[in-house]
Chains A and B, each alone.
Chain A
Amino acid sequence: MSQKNLKVAIAGNPNSGKTSIFNELTGSHQHVGNYPGVTVEKKWGSFVHDGIEIDVVDLPGTYSLEVKSLDEKVARDFIINEQPDVIINVIDASNVERSLYLTSQLIEIGVRLVFVLNMSDRARAKGQELNLAMISERLNCETVETVGSRGEGIDKLKDAIISVSHFERREIGLDYGEEIDDAISEITLMSPSVGRWTALKILEKDVDVINTLTKQYGESIEPLLNKANEIVHRMESHHGDSFSVLVADRRYGFAAGLYREVVRKESVDKREFSERVDDILTNRILGIPIFLGFMYLVFYLTFKLGEFPVHGIENLVGWLGGFVEQNWPSSLPLKSLVVNGVIDGVGGVITFLPTIVILFACIAILEDTGYMARAAFIMDRLMHKIGLHGKSFIPMLIGFGCSVPAIMATRTLEHRRDRLATMFVIPLMSCGARLTIYSLIIPAFFPPSLRAKVLWLIYVVGILMAILLVRLLRSTFLRGESAPFVMELPPYRMPTIKGILIHMWERSKLYLRKAGTIILAVSILMWFLTSYPKPTTFEIDQKIATGTVISEADAAAARASETLKYSVAGRIGYAMEPIMKPIGFDWRISTALIGAFVAKEVFISQLAIVFSIGDTGEQEFSLREHLRKSYTTLTGICVMLFCLIATPCVATVSVMRKESGRFLYAVLQFVGLTLLAYVVVLIVYQVGKFIVVIPVPFL
């Protein structure tokens, strides 16, 4: 790292406009990823100012820097371990008092601070006037006013960053009152190498700090810790409140006191506009219908608007495949790999893209306007009863479109248990790909009058299973308290186009890089498994030689079918027959399911190949005929049930791994759901065989 690189971190409350400040500073030079080993999202970027290159990290939005939530821990760890040169503390100018709670913890650590009063236009409009000079003096910082959404004040901010980087770092001790200050002194006197901040953390029983100290000093730290326990015990029995809570309250008292010092004129406290809008949007009667309306709109936009680019991409991929097919010299095994493996595989990944991008744009709009918080507010009671969190609703809803963005969307859930539980059951929300399977099978076995009902039933079963599974998870592996639902309902805001675009761009890049590479790798693997080994002679050719007359297209289809049977995938399908028989599946379905791991839609094309249906355009129609002839309605139902519950596609597994932070969870989800599917279908099939006739009038 050259001397000239400044390391800067942005800290602040959620909803303070941190993101737009980050966007204004870094523009398109930003990246999204994960903090190592955890599920918390990391955003970083850079910019140049006055010849100095400045690296910026946007820390998770937090109200505090204790370690009670993962976001807070990540933010604090970064500040303490990475030692950024400057911290940009973004403040919602309409919420200065509360924001100062976090600020007080920053100055206690002793950082070089730029205090950014963001959304200052709004606060001014409400009549607030602050003494900026006094803020700078009290906090030993530079104070800047900005309107992040309009890019105002950004240049001053950049100047301030550079100016502050020359400041002396200074831990500012807050006045906690005599008792607590005395307690801190007792600790620091006992061990000179332990500073005020560390002493306070020890008294607060801060797990992270104590662990670090124990690692560093080993046993010699024990007497200190014992002393701390003694002091704390004494104070707690005196006050009836735990020490760390006393500290927290004093700290807020400091924030409140500081606010009183720096405010010249208070704002007229009217949140009229947002509250009036909410009178309608979270109305007891209208709230839910309006919410469902918005959700429908999101879906409509995503899948209708997405249709054109998706078809466009599909056509492009098809054309490209055809082009390579024709112009690449034949009989090289690589050709098939490129056409069927790579191009189809990549095509499969990219066809997801328009859907994901539009969906994320919609989510970004919902979040940035502030409506997302209202959605959680409306849905929390229902979600909480199931064992989830209000914020779980939207990711689950998105799961009806596609599990990949749905799992990515769970990042808004703060507590690990809520987040994991939600991620685990998202595949049970029948995604769009499964819909293609249902639309193949349902018309094959059910008369028109029943089709819609059966489809609806499948979706309902999925939802019920999800609820049961969450209940199960929350009472076994993911047991424990939910995160408190204390959540801010921020004022409604106009999102910026720039913000939305950057968000869309980042999501797509992330998806392509993460899901894309794995999907491609697995697609190629699948291609291999379904193509090799190749038979040296074909039965159909022998039949032609002895007089059978069929068209070349049909012969080609027959050859393809034989190839599949002969291949590894086909053999596995055969081998699985004894296991699959109790649930009514034959080797053909099993083989198709193996292929479906790449993408659910592949199930259909694999099935087509197995039944020797060529690429004649009449595929679906004739496939349905074959299915009807080969299987019972019961099996049709079982196949749909299995597809509903089991085998998230490789994209889902890959994203699950990325977002949950552990490969183990993705594996558990995969295996767990597959087993669940097997058990459920087993029961349905065996019971179904006894119910010979389903009374039609009832349906």
Chain B
Amino acid sequence: MTTLNKLLPGERARILHLTGGDALKKRFIEMGLRKGTLVCAVRVAPLGDPIEVSIKGSNISIRRSEASHIVIKRIEKE
């Protein structure tokens, strides 16, 4: 169990739950980042922040500080 900001490019994970303030949580939810969603880390921006993740249907950029509020469980590749 870890948080989204620690997911490395290419790794996949499932979202377990969200922490943080209401506004941030609602923002996550409306973008599709909620409990049960499958995410895949795509890349890191040239300056080290933000990171890009992909979920079904879209790619989203998110600051590491925000991503630390998304608790995930890595999915090991077979």
Contact = CB atoms under 8 A, between A and B. Distances in A.
Contacts of A488: 31, 58-61
B11 interface: no
Given A489-B59, A489-B60, A489-B61, A97 B32 contact: yes
B57 A252 contact: no
B74 interface: no
B78 interface: no
Contacts of A244: 22, 26
B46 A378 contact: yes
A484 B23 CA distance: 9
Q: Is the interface of B mostly helix, strand, loop or mixed?
A: mixed
A328 interface: no
A98 interface: yes
A269 B38 CA distance: 13
B48 A381 contact: yes
A382 B56 contact: no
A373 B26 contact: no
Interface string B16-44: 00000011111111111111000000111
A245 interface: yes
Interface stretch (A278-286, A296-304, A395-403, A533-541): A278-286
Contacts of B52: 278, 282, 377, 489
Given A249-B29, A381-B45, A485 B54 contact: no
Q: How large is the interface on A (under 10, 10 to 19, 20 to 34, 35 or more residues)?
A: 35 or more
Interface stretch (A62-70, A562-570, A607-615, A682-690): A62-70
Contact of B26 (A68, A95, A97, A382): A68
B6 interface: no
A163 interface: no
B62 A486 contact: yes
Given A271-B54, A275-B42, A248 B66 contact: no
A242 interface: yes
B47 to A, nearest CB: 4
Given A94-B57, A242-B22, A484 B66 contact: yes
Q: Which 6 pairs, one residue from A and one from B, show the smallest C-beta to C-beta distance? A: A381-B47, A287-B46, A63-B30, A381-B49, A489-B59, A95-B57
28 contacts: A64-B26, A95-B57, A98-B31, A101-B29, A101-B30, A242-B22, A245-B29, A248-B30, A252-B30, A269-B57, A275-B42, A278-B52, A284-B44, A373-B61, A380-B47, A380-B49, A380-B50, A381-B49, A381-B50, A390-B50, A484-B23, A484-B24, A484-B27, A484-B63, A485-B66, A486-B31, A486-B60, A488-B61
Given A63-B30, A486-B60, 8 more contacts: A96-B57, A248-B26, A269-B57, A275-B54, A282-B43, A287-B45, A378-B46, A381-B50
Interface of A: 63-64, 66, 68, 94-98, 101, 241-242, 244-245, 248-249, 252, 269, 271, 274-275, 278-279, 282-285, 287-288, 373, 376-382, 384, 390, 484-490
